[in-house]
């Protein structure tokens, strides 16, 4: 399995490789900068080289950059949409500079102005970003939990966007298990997992699936509650993750975004995934 964590770049960008190695990850996800600010500085050339040297010397591949939380590509507010697009362009450039092949982004909210209007704005923003940044970085659209006015909780939303992007080689999907479950896609019985993946393949296409965010859920099926839980301790549970880890999803890189608290840390969640994958 390709199994890893979302890890901090605190202190220095290259330290994320050390953290991943120490936690026995062979893939990882990271922010390339502060995820809660619009403005960011360019990457220092020496830090870029330090990161690339460590990455090449490691067994970690692939690496994913997660775009900042502030992005709302579906926003009807012109200033927010513009800042979101400019921020996405910056993330695509930074990933290219770091020899990272993928950027993951949330799609945002239409803020009550209609789903189709929001989806069209997402397409416009993605097309503008990919056209402006001429590299080979692939943009991964993450499914969401179906919270009010949000975009991308259904496979049909994702299919609409991906089908409108001219360069299909630079667009893909990140499938979050918690988000899918609370949006109404059952991931507990083996038959349900297989049915969800058949539906995904018929709608979006499994060839577009490049990354899985492996998260349990505090919320129940269809609750639209976006709260991640430790693997096996949430509503998907150990049964669900055994079935997920026997499915097509196991063949993609698996990134955990699980909490750290008195019950479990990252290492314990990684151990649980490995245990469930063989039992």
Q: Which CATH number fits the domain that encloses residue 75?
A: 3.20.20.150
Candidate list 6, 19, 106, 170, residue with the active-site label:
106
Active site residue 257: yes
Q: Which two tokens stand for residue 163?
A: 């089908």
Q: By the 8 A CB rule, do 74 and 109 touch?
A: yes
Candidate list 19, 228, 230, 242, residue with the active-site label:
228
Q: How many domains does the chain have?
A: 1
Q: Which two tokens stand for residue 85?
A: 């697009």
Active site residue 179: yes
Candidate list 6, 19, 121, 142, residue with the active-site label:
142
Tell me what the pLDDT averaged over the chain comes to: 96
Handedness of CA 11, 14, 15, 19 (dihedral sign): positive
**pTM for this structure?**
0.97
Q: Which two tokens stand for residue 211?
A: 């990354």
Verify cis geometry, omega within 30 degrees of 0, for the bond prior to 11. no
Active site residue 106: yes
SS3 93: helix
Active site residue 6: no
Active site residue 201: no
State the distance between the two ends of the chain, measured CA to CA, in whole angstroms. 15
| Cβ count near 116 (within 10 Å) | 12
The residues near 278 (Cβ < 8 Å, ≥ 6 apart) are none
Q: Which range of residues forms the domain containing residue 86?
A: 3-278
Candidate list 6, 66, 170, 252, residue with the active-site label:
66
pLDDT at 72 over 80: yes
Q: What is the pLDDT of residue 62?
A: 98
Candidate list 157, 216, 226, 266, residue with the active-site label:
226
Q: What is the pLDDT of residue 39?
A: 77
| Tens-place pLDDT, residues 105-155 | 999 999 999 999 999 999 999 999 999 999 999 999 999 999 999 999 999
Candidate list 44, 56, 69, 82, residue with the active-site label:
69
| Tens-place pLDDT, residues 142-181 | 999 999 999 999 999 999 999 999 999 999 999 999 999 9
Q: Which two tokens stand for residue 22?
A: 């120490």
């Amino acid at each position: 399995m390709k199994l890893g964590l979302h890890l901090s770049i605190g202190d220095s960008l290259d330290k994320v490789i050390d953290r991943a190695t120490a936690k026995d990850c062979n893939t990882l996800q990271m922010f390339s900068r502060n995820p809660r600010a619009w403005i960011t500085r360019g990457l220092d050339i020496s830090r870029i080289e330090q990161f690339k040297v460590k990455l090449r010397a490691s067994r970690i591949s692939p690496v994913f950059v997660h775009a900042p939380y502030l992005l709302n590509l579906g926003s009807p507010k012109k200033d927010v949409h513009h800042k979101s697009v400019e921020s996405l362009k910056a993330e695509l450039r930074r990933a290219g500079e770091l020899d990272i092949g993928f950027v993951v982004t949330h799609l945002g909210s239409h803020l009550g102005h209609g789903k189709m209007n929001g989806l069209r704005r997402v397409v416009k923003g993605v097309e503008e970003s990919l056209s402006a940044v001429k590299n080979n970085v692939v943009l991964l659209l993450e499914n969401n939990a179906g919270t009010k006015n949000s975009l991308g909780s259904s496979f049909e939303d994702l299919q609409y966007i991906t089908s409108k992007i001219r360069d299909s080689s630079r667009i893909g999907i990140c499938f979050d298990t918690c988000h899918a479950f609370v949006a109404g896609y059952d991931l507990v019985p083996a038959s349900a997992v297989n049915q969800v993946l058949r539906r995904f393949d018929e709608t979006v296409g499994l060839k577009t699936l490049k990354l899985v965010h492996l998260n349990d859920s505090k919320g129940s099926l269809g609750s639209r509650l976006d709260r991640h839980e430790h693997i096996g301790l949430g509503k998907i549970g150990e049964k669900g993750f055994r079935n997920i880890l026997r499915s097509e999803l196991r063949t993609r890189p698996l990134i955990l975004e699980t909490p750290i608290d008195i019950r479990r840390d990252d290492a314990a969640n990684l151990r649980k995934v490995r245990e469930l994958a063989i039992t």
